[in-house]
Amino acid sequence: MSQYTAPIRDMQFVMNELANLDDVARLPGCEEVSPDLVDAILEEAGKFAGEVLAPLNKTGDQVGAKWKDGEVTTVPGWKQAYDQFSESGWTALACDPQYGGQGLPKLISTAVMEMWKSANMAFSLCPMLTTGAIEALMLRGTDEQKNMYLPKMVSGEWTGTMNLTEPQAGSDLAAVRTRAEPVGDGTYRIFGQKIFITYGEHDLTDNIIHLVLARLPDAPEGVKGISLFVVPKYMVNADGSLGARNDAHCVSIEHKLGIHASPTCVLAFGDNGGAIGTLVGEPNRGLEYMFIMMNEARFAVGMEGLALSERAYQHALQYARDRVQGTELGVRGGPKVSILHHPDVRRMLMSLKSQTEAMRALAYVVGAATDMAHLHPDEAVRAQNQAFVDLMIPVVKGWCTENSIDVASTGVQVHGGMGFLEETGAAQHLRDARITTIYEGTTAIQANDLIGRKIAREGGVTVTAVIAEMRKVEAELGGVQGEAFAAIRRALGDGIKAVEDAVAYILATYNTDIKAAHVGSVPFLKLMGVVTGGWQMARAALVAQRKLQDQQGDASFYQAKIVTARFFADHVLAQAPGLAYSVVNGAAGALELADEQF
């Protein structure tokens, strides 16, 4: 099983040169963010990820979480690791200082989040869900709810969940049936069942704070009749101590393809008289509030795609360096060499490396834009950045996770037959990655959101602004000499044209033939990922070229940046025109068969 080493040098490059950490550090509330502080955080997080979390990853996969009589036992070593995690302050990194958080920018927490997920994805899911619950309560909770729950959730003493899905509903939240009956003292009794609840029950903390979607008795049908409630596992007394056990119980956990150490729970509310909860915000606005958590979670799941890709790449690279097989092509009678010398293995490794770096660059840039959207003093700048974040979250979630399956699968291929054996560990990355395109909204849900809410509804305003920024980089590439930059410029230009053509088709078709538009939604999402990822890789190559010209820093690192961007242009960006063709021309073949012809 490979070890995990946090790619701190690349993280620093992306944060400083592409995500503009200096600009983030000048935002109100971020004045103490210095390069030394950021480097120290990355170094310490890298050590914790590599030394504490990564060694538990394989054990977690092999042993898995266990359920018995309503209680879940986590993997041996999990509890000790979680205690270290919370005691070290990692749960509080980006949280509000008012409730014990450190108040650091999203850009920093994004890089740290990547480390947790690369080292041990199953472990990382617990703090991920807690972060989303904290965000929802911060923005919509009452003062009483905030004071009761947030300090201990921020400290990691308690964890949080979100409860949306039900057996009959799946992704159709309009079909939610869980009901909330008012008691009369500001509390409600909750009745219903929720499925696929990550860390809905565990032994890591004394209390779990569930955020639950349910319907009030007079609620309208559909999504407009859903409210959000806080339902703790244990009731909380006025002095903050734990009271009686609430009527919320885990009746089973799922047996999954991957992330075995993360308990995916079926939770029953109200089997013994009703689970006690309190309303978050206003009645019938629960889905709106839950999307606060959902967007946080969707970005975080996109980070899982990036993180698993990094881990699969490291694993495959280590094997390719060590595995000696065959002689080098063109060297007659030469010695046996490692498979790293074979052209197709190098192609596969470059595919893993380039896509991982593109995903990291895009995700960190979106993370920095989130900071700008929340903290910049200029309202117009905040709005511009928020529009960019809204456009790109489905791309980060959908593209990075779909990539992670391909990257992890290619990582298995690099291992050859050994990759198909569980002992080598490469297969775990593929199994773990497979869920990422499904939960927190499937790729189709992300793509439907992208073409509907984010493009058609606003007439393509934001995507047009992004295209303009990409055109600026294309023009800048034209001022740099060399075959590599000519190739990058050519591929980026073709990619931008492909996005323009696809956007024009969506805008022309969405309101007249919505089914035809939606046939191409997932290819369009991939197209956006490929081209915006290529945009960031081109920016990276330009920065690297300037550093080399000025003789600054590690020349080998910057040379590799240019070569990797060239590879991405030739092998990944080159797919863009074909994806646009599918968006524009793909509806007929998908929609013309009668049902009985399938």
Distance CA 273, CA 96 (A): 36
Rounded CA gap, 441 and 300, in Å? Answer: 12
Residues 6+ apart with CB under 8 A from 346: 340
| Number of CB atoms found within 10 A of residue 202's CB | 25
Residues 403, 546, 109, 279: is their CA dihedral positive or negative?
Answer: negative
Q: Where would I find the H helices in 100-157? A: 106-119, 121-140, 143-155
- How far, CA to CA in Å, does 216 sit from each of 46, 227, 267, 479? 46, 7, 19, 62
- Using CA atoms, how far residue 287 sits from 145, 211, 213, 290, 445, in Å, is 19, 11, 7, 5, 16
> Is the alpha carbon torsion for 31, 36, 37, 39 positive or negative?
positive
Phi, psi dihedral angles at 551 (to 5 degrees): 55, 45
Residue 358 · residue 536 · CB < 8 Å: yes
Residue type, 230: V
* Rounded CA separation 394/469 (Å): 19
Distances (CA, A) of 322 to 318, 428, 553: 6, 20, 29
Q: Catalytic residue at 87?
A: no
Other Cβ atoms less than 10 A from the Cβ of 500: the count is 18
DSSP-assigned states of every residue in 353-412: HHHHHHHHHHHHHHHHHHHHHHH-S-HHHHHHHHHHHHHHHHHHHHHHHHHHHHHHHHHH
Residue of 440, 458, 500, 596 with catalytic role? 440
Report the distance separating Cα 33 and Cα 211, nearest Å: 32
The residues that are catalytic are 440
